[in-house]
């Protein structure tokens, strides 16, 4: 099983495209072979990071990956399809299977009652916003791609022996368009917007819905984790050991000073009330401040600390 690109990059599935790009650049610099000569592990990690970014680093690539994972989950949760090979499949190729087979198959099983007409698949995607856009609301352009009813056969070739050169008998064709999405004021990260009838068309039924998840750009040094905003705060090793105070610039742009307890570990967190977007709580995560260069005096002190076992 291939590695999950989100896990490799260290971001959540709700991360914005900008967050993914920033994290990729950070990790690529950290593990680049030029920075880690003769380090096979770093080279392999760099390759994994690059492969992960190729899968989700652009809007189109991420959309294809997320869609393929949803289809994979769909078939794995269907006992009749668990042995299927999912590599490289496209939505149009499995469209008839997603909706229970052909009309002839449904007619052969009249006991299978349905409520309402056949329905196209919903499309789930994300829409990236700045905090100001989410706070004030408004209208945002969204590049949308979905399966539309074939203009040549009007869906009549779906699951039949009839051929249609325009859609190859699928009854639908992929179409891209730009739509306008209305963002409600004071929208939250993770909030969903359902747009009726803008999912995939069904060749003989009604269209599904477009379900957009709002993703607010966390900005540099922050990330979303299960809907909570985590902000990294870099402090020197001496402060982790001895304690002290450090300054933190909050998402609102204000600066606060927080206490670092003696013996704080890398990765320890502290929750700061009402300091995140929209007045939510902000989680502070302590990380070690890295020094690209140190002075000769600092080097001598470090040598003495090493001799003392630190």
**Least confident piece of the model among 6-20, 113-127, 256-270, 283-297:** 113-127
pLDDT of residue 80: 45
Under DSSP, the state recorded for 80 is G
| DSSP bridge pairs for 229 | 224
What's the token pair of residue 150? 């074939």
CA 27 to CA 35: how far, in whole Å? 12
Q: What total number of domains does the chain contain?
A: 3
pLDDT of residue 91: 44
The answer on 80 and 56 residing in a single domain is yes
Under DSSP, the state recorded for 125 is E
What's the token pair of residue 243? 């304690």
> Which of 38, 73, 89 is the last residue before a domain boundary?
89
CA 122 to CA 142: how far, in whole Å? 16
What's the token pair of residue 188? 């939250």
Secondary structure class of 55 (helix, strand, coil): helix
CA-closest candidate to residue 65, choices 77, 53, 81: 53
| Cβ-defined contacts of 54-59 (< 8 Å, 24+) | 55/5, 56/5, 56/6, 56/9, 56/20, 57/20, 57/21, 57/24, 58/17, 59/17, 59/143
- For 196, the domain range is 116-216
CATH assignment of the domain containing 208? 2.60.260.20
pTM for this one? 0.76
Across the chain, what does the average pLDDT equal?
84
User: Is residue 110 assigned to a domain?
Assistant: no
For residues 226-254, average pLDDT: 90
The answer on 211 and 120 residing in a single domain is yes
């Amino acid at each position: 099983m291939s590695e999950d690109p989100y896990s490799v990059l260290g971001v959540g599935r709700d991360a914005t495209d900008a967050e993914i790009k920033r994290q990729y650049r950070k990790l690529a610099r950290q593990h680049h072979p030029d920075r880690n000569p003769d380090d096979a592990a770093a080279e392999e990690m760099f390759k994994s990071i690059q492969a992960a970014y190729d899968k989700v680093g652009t809007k189109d690539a991420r959309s294809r990956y997320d869609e393929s994972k949803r289809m994979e989950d769909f078939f794995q949760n269907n006992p009749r399809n668990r042995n299927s090979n999912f590599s490289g499949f496209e939505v149009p190729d499995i469209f008839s299977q997603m909706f229970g087979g052909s009309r002839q198959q449904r007619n052969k099983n009249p006991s299978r009652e349905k409520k309402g007409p056949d329905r196209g698949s919903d499309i789930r995607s994300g829409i990236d916003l700045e905090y100001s856009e989410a706070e004030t609301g408004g209208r945002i352009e969204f590049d949308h791609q979905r399966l539309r009813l074939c203009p040549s056969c009007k869906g009549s070739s779906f699951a039949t022996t009839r051929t249609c050169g325009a859609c190859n008998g699928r009854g639908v064709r992929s179409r891209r368009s730009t739509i306008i999405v209305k963002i409600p004021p004071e929208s939250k990260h993770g909030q969903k917007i359902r747009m009726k009838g803008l999912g995939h068309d069904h060749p003989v039924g009604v269209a599904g819905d477009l379900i957009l998840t709002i993703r607010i750009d966390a900005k540099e040094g922050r990330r979303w984790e299960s809907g909570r905003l985590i902000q990294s705060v870099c402090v020197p090793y001496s402060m982790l050991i001895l304690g002290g105070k450090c300054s933190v610039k909050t998402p609102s742009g204000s600066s606060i000073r927080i206490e670092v307890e003696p013996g704080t570990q890398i990765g320890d967190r502290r929750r700061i009330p009402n300091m995140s977007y929209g007045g939510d709580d902000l989680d502070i995560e302590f990380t070690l401040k890295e020094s690209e260069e140190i002075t000769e005096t600092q080097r001598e002190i470090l040598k003495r600390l090493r001799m003392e076992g630190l």
